Amino acid sequence: KQWYQRRVAITAGEFALEKVGIDVASGGIWSDYVQFIRSGEAAGSYAENQKIMAIRRVYQRAVMMPLSNVEQLWRDYSTFEQNVNEIIAKKLLEERSRDYQNARRVAKDYEATTRGLIRGAPALPPQNNGDERAQIEKRKKYRLRLCVDTTA
């Protein structure tokens, strides 16, 4: 029964990552999912290797995403690989480094573009005040940035 419940939770975690895992604010979901997989018990060397591979796959997917906490996820992934096998860790980290650097750059760029942008503001009739004009300019820059990113 416990095995079945865990399997359902893993399926739910994968579903969540598939649906919202690309959102810049979804880093917590990635971290929680890694911790959930790590918390599972593995009986025997085969099960332990399966667990290591599952954790590795999640980390490798996460560090390719432009997440707000991608730097922390990279540090955690690095530590994980070092603890598993220092020799293999160097190779695996080198292989993922370019993807991580790109995700990190995009995340920082996104954060700079959206800094000060109030995304949850209600739609109200225009007041034409300074704060509203500033938000309009920030939204224009944000939209322009989205257009540039999708055409590149």
How far is it, in rounded angstroms, from Cα 13 to Cα 108?
Answer: 26
Given pLDDT bands bounded at 50, 70 and 90, which one contains residue 149?
low
pLDDT tens digit sequence for 47-103:
899 999 999 999 999 999 999 999 999 999 999 999 999 999 999 999 999 999 999
pLDDT tens digit sequence for 100-146:
999 999 999 888 888 877 777 777 777 888 888 888 887 787 777 76
Residue 142: strand, helix, or coil: helix
Length of the chain: 152
